[in-house]
Amino acid sequence: MASPKLTKKPARATAKTKSKKAPVKVATKVKTAKTSGSKSPAVALVPLTSPLARTAKGKRPQYFHDPATDRLQSMLVALMAELSVTRDRLDTLERLIEKSGGPGRKLMEAFNASPEVEAERAASRAAYIARVMRPISHELDAMKAGGKS
Amino acid sequence: MDAQTQHDVLIERSLDEQARQLFVKDFRSHLASQVVGGVPVAYYQVELPKFVAANGRPPKSKDEIRQFMLTNPYYQFWSGLQRTSQEMMWDSVIDSVERQAPALNARAKTLAAKAKKSTNLGSLRLNPDLEIPRYHTGVDIHIQPGGYHTEFGADDISAGAIYDRGVHIYLMGGMGSENDSLGRISSNWFRLEHPNLKPARILDMGCTTGNSTLPWGRMFPKAELHAIDVAAPVLRYAHARAVSLGIPVHFSQQNAEHTDFEDECFDVIVSHIMLHETSNKALPKVLAESRRLLKPGGIMIHLEIPRPDDVFEKFMFDWEAYNNNEPFSMGCRESDLIGLAREAGFDPEKVTFAQADAGLSSGQRNYSATGFLFPMLKAEKSAPVSQQRLRKAA
């Protein structure tokens, strides 16, 4: 339906993009645009003209006396994440080996974890996080004990 | 568990992308259920006794609490982790969006073209001349890189794709499979309060990707549903998402402070945690604009962020303001919304405040040990014949 006649002023022209940066090629693995419904004709890809931003505008607070501690903390959590990713991937591989005896990239990417498997993974991740976060739970326990432990 | 409802513009995740996003979700859940609870312990058992011993009285304000908590090691470490988790959340989603953007943008275009040919799939009206307000361009809200408004190419929907997936991770799925719990809360509440009203035209202000908009469409399928936002990329995404999910919504790129809608054309005007992302200057204008747009007898509901009474809880909720680029959240939380609605011209007796429980689990709450109550500012525009007219209009 066309826009309902609710407006005071006539509708203005649509979409025009203001791109301040020079176009940058963005690597993409996606080759084809899937369209919803088989009747719709395929539409040409609409690539980005600059990479997506990775740093938010606005000053990042400093949490520790030494800013290096801030960086180290973030790096530590990033490492946690990567190990978690690897564990998830390994888990997939192991399950596939059990299932078929011949794991390949295609099979791995296509692997769909069942709700039961996802629940197992979530429990495993929670335990893993708790292990790495142990220094904090120790600090909390000590505070609760009034500094006696 | 990852139970976000699939639709045509929701990102697909590769094996590793999915694992990274689920890690952030589970890590945040751990912070919420196991770590943040130590901050009140650090306050009540460690810092507060020291403060009382030194000053002979408890702290008078959240700012006084902030002064000494900023040097508490436990608070520092939790804050750093919370901030880091927010950064990793966006980063993990941006990986998927960047990889798929050309296809996602194309898919959104296809869906928009389909809607244009149809009479019941809603519409999208963009205004490239609209000035993006300073409260969006000053800092990136929620530290989402680029905010809601930045476009990284023509017909770009990236900001919307990032936001829709990010929000799901942010509250650990606590807003439901369509991130729509706030819209369900407000629309359910409206229906219970006004069982006989059948609104003919509804406006959702500051809709972002339309998550809170769609429940209103489901609740009132015969109503003409409108939604506005200042940011084009989230609106393109919202339109494609709504078409994909089969709820007709008329999206337009407009500032809620001053829209181009005619006077008195809506029966209901609603917003969901939008006011605190505006400014001291904008907030009264949004309320005045709401009043202008409402039909006599029409109803305004602005659902807002929690407003705790306790001074320590106030300090805790300020975390978002200082660490997650929500600069106006403190000002909005402290402002007298009822007074402002009255100043905007609403009949003083028709302005009220209600609270709705978000029903979050302890692993989803972030800052509050006692619950997550969303206040709702409600006002009715005075009219002699309101209810009959509203019923007729439906």
Q: What is the mean pLDDT of chain A?
A: 73
When CB atoms are compared, the residue of A16, A34, A53 closest to B146 is A53
pLDDT digits (tens, 9 = 90+) for B16-60: 999 999 999 999 999 998 899 999 999 999 999 999 999 999 999
Instruction: Note the pLDDT of residue A14.
Output: 41
Closest chain A residue to B227, measured at CA: A3
Cα of B191 to nearest chain A Cα, Å: 25
Taking the Cβ of residue B109 and every Cβ of chain A, the question of whether any pair is shorter than 8 Å is answered with yes
- Cβ contact (<8 Å) for B90 and A56? yes
Contacts of B118 in chain A (CB under 8 A): 1
The better pLDDT of the pair A59, B7 is held by: B7
- A91 — pLDDT class (breaks 50, 70, 90): confident
HEC per residue, chain A: CCCCCCECCCCCCCCCCCCCCCCCCCCCCCCCCCCCCCCCCCCCCCCCCCCCCCCCCCCCCCCCCCHHHHHHHHHHHHHHHHHHHHHHHHHHHHHHHHHHCCCCHHHHHHCCCCHHHHHHHHHHHHHHHHHHCHHHHHHHHHHHCCCCC
- Cβ contact (<8 Å) for A88 and B19? yes
Residue contacts between A and B (CB atoms, under 8 Å) = 263
Cα of A98 to nearest chain B Cα, Å: 19
- B206 — pLDDT class (breaks 50, 70, 90): very high
> Residues 31..50 of A with a Cβ closer than 8 Å to B: which?
32-37, 40, 43-50
Asked if B264 and B290 count as a contact pair (C-beta separation under 8 A), the reply is no
When CB atoms are compared, the residue of A26, A37, A77 closest to B98 is A26
- Cβ contact (<8 Å) for A28 and B97? no
Q: Which domains does chain B have, with CATH numbers?
A: 1-394 (3.40.50.150)
pLDDT digits (tens, 9 = 90+) for B347-370: 999 999 988 877 777 677 777 665
* Percent of chain B at pLDDT exceeding 90: 86
B331: amino acid identity, one letter:
G
Q: What is the mean pLDDT of chain B?
A: 93
- Cβ contact (<8 Å) for A48 and B102? yes
> Residues 64..93 of B with a Cβ closer than 8 Å to A: which?
73-74, 76-81, 83-85, 87-88, 90-92
Instruction: Note the pLDDT of residue A94.
Output: 83
B15-30 and A67-100 helices, crossing angle to 10° = 130
- B74 — pLDDT class (breaks 50, 70, 90): very high
Q: Tell me how far CA of residue A146 lies from CA of A149, B50, B385, in angstroms.
A: 8, 13, 65
Instruction: Note the pLDDT of residue A25.
Output: 45
Token output for B56: 């002979």
Cα of B29 to nearest chain A Cα, Å: 9
Asked if B391 and B196 count as a contact pair (C-beta separation under 8 A), the reply is yes
Rounded Cα distance between B202 and B249, Å, is 10
Q: What ipTM was predicted for this assembly? A: 0.76
Report domain extents, chain A.
67-144
Residue A40 has pLDDT above 80, yes or no: no
Contacts of B98 in chain A (CB under 8 A): 26, 28, 48, 51-52
Instruction: Note the pLDDT of residue B12.
Output: 94
Least confident of B167-171, B225-229, B385-389: B385-389
- A13 — pLDDT class (breaks 50, 70, 90): very low
Residue A149 has pLDDT above 50, yes or no: no
> Residues 99..128 of A with a Cβ closer than 8 Å to B: which?
108-109, 111, 115, 118-119, 121-122, 125-126
Closest chain A residue to B244, measured at CA: A36
- Cβ contact (<8 Å) for B88 and A118? no
Average pLDDT over residues B214-224: 97
Instruction: Note the pLDDT of residue B306.
Output: 86
Token output for B177: 């499979």
Instruction: Note the pLDDT of residue A95.
Output: 82
Contacts of B262 in chain A (CB under 8 A): 6-8
* Percent of chain A at pLDDT exceeding 70: 62
B73-117 and B15-30 helices, crossing angle to 10° = 130
Closest chain B residue to A60, measured at CA: B323
Contacts of B120 in chain A (CB under 8 A): 1
Cα of B149 to nearest chain A Cα, Å: 12
> Residues 286..315 of B with a Cβ closer than 8 Å to A: which?
none
Cα of A92 to nearest chain B Cα, Å: 9
Contacts of B103 in chain A (CB under 8 A): 30, 32-34, 45
Least confident of A74-88, B61-75, B338-352, B374-388: B374-388
Which residue, B45, B120, B372, B387, is CA-closest to A140? B45
Instruction: Note the pLDDT of residue A26.
Output: 43
- Cβ contact (<8 Å) for B260 and A17? no
**Measured in whole angstroms, how far is the alpha carbon of residue A140 from the centre of its chain?**
29
Instruction: Note the pLDDT of residue A8.
Output: 67
pLDDT digits (tens, 9 = 90+) for B85-131: 999 999 999 999 999 999 999 999 999 999 999 999 999 999 999 99
Instruction: Note the pLDDT of residue B324.
Output: 95
Q: Tell me how far CA of residue B306 lies from CA of B143, B166, B356, in angstroms.
A: 20, 21, 10
Rounded Cα distance between B204 and B141, Å, is 20
Instruction: Note the pLDDT of residue A140.
Output: 80
Contacts of A120 in chain B (CB under 8 A): none
Instruction: Note the pLDDT of residue B364.
Output: 73
The better pLDDT of the pair A71, B278 is held by: B278
When CB atoms are compared, the residue of B78, B153, B250 closest to A3 is B250
Least confident of A107-116, B196-205, B293-302: A107-116
